[in-house]
Amino acid sequence: MTSPAPVKHRSLIHHTGAGYFPIAFVARLPFAMMTVGVLALVVAIRGSVALGGLTSAAVGLGVVLAGPVLGDLADRYGQRRVLVPVGLANGVLLAVFPLVVAASAPDGLLLATAVAIGVTGPQTAAMSRSRIMALIALRVAPERRERTFSRAMSYESAADETAFVIGPFVVGVLAALIAPWAPIVAAALLSFLFVTAFALHPTGRAVPARADRAAMAPARALLHPRLLVLVAAVFAVGLFFGSTLTSLTAFMEARGAPEAGALLYGVMGVGSAVLALAVAVLPARFTLRARLLTFAVILTASAAAYSAGGSVETVTVVLCLMGIGIGPSLVTLFSLAGARAPRGRTASTMTILSSALTLAQALSSAVTGAVAESVSVETALVFPALAAVLLLAMAGVNAAFANRWDGSAVPVGSHG
């Protein structure tokens, strides 16, 4: 099918339709809520932070097992055929999970159900990035593509950040106002309704229904070091998210209000999302590699301050500073991934990064929860700083080899 010719005066929203971005945003929430909701539900019902963290890690394991496979299937056969059955299955599993927890089922069954929730986790964020990149390539005039790409990736990362904020916030509010099972049931309803709506949205046609295998880069291209360093960096971001949320939960549990951990976590996310959107207005001469280094340094310094703990007020201030570092870092990583994605492997690249983020978040939740319960809360508070150091190390590797991987320094929106 012949693609429409680019129209210079038409914005990206003209090509997506006004309803696309709200639908795509809400469709992210089940994915953002399920890890936190599982953690909060198990802690509330079973009374164990360690078991809650382990169950959350099981969700992440399911995501990492299925994520790259779902991305490859979407690249080959189209997103609709993948997302519709996956979203429906995820909704069913989320709906029955509170029953499994409340029935005092064996830990093995609990963990198996959590893995299944992760396997069916709808990779909406990755699929949305793939659609937007395809639309920009097909329908935006060449001279406007670089700027449009930069703004679109900033929005997508800000949407992720906001979803990661609103998800835990909604979990905390529903758990506090209704019951610990309410957030999981809400996530199930959102998966049924909005993931299906996203899957069936006309923008899905921007990605070919069946990719030409000869036009696709080989799968081994996904193992190139210039992509692996981004996967490792996104993994570090996931470690940061998981350890921060779980250590905050433990921190507030020690003060008699464990449900407030998710609410306090939202303080960091608000600043993070705002800064993620602000990345779009940064000058092109501030290259992606320089941005990643700069914001990784900010994150490492603020995470070190967080590890000192202190009063709730002090931790809240430090969380705001951490948000300044983490939001732009995530934007930059996905922008680099979009520029470096092998031919025909955009959805695969994005799902691999999203899977790395979720797996790391879940694993760090398990480890941090176990440490908080068996060692001390103070020790658990150190883990976000360790994750930030890993991100800084990967930012350094990227800066050192970016010229070799991407050619000479190029402006943002290309390979920067």
pLDDT at 407: 61
Where the chain has pLDDT below 70, the residues are 1-10, 14, 141, 143, 150, 161, 165, 168, 205-217, 219, 257-262, 276-277, 280, 407-416
Residue type, 239: L
Cα separation values, 20 from 6, 74, 88, 278, 351, Å: 20, 19, 20, 22, 20
pLDDT at 415: 39
pLDDT at 92: 92
Q: Which residues are CB-contacts of 118 (< 8 A; sequence separation ≥ 6)?
A: 34, 58, 59, 60, 61, 62, 63, 64, 65, 66, 358, 362
Cα separation values, 412 from 153, 226, 282, Å: 11, 17, 9
**In sequence order, what DSSP letters do the residues of 219-277 get, joined into one string?**
GGGGG-HHHHHHHHHHHHHHHHHHHHHHHHHHHHHTTT-TTHHHHHHHHHHHHHHHHHH
As a whole number of angstroms, the distance between CA 48 and CA 294 comes to 38
191, two tokens: 């998966």
pTM given for the model: 0.73
Q: What is the pLDDT of residues 213-243, one digit of tens each?
A: 556 667 677 788 889 999 999 999 999 988 9
pLDDT at 66: 82
* CATH fold for domain 17-212+222-406: Growth Hormone; Chain: A; (1.20.1250)
As a whole number of angstroms, the distance between CA 72 and CA 66 comes to 10
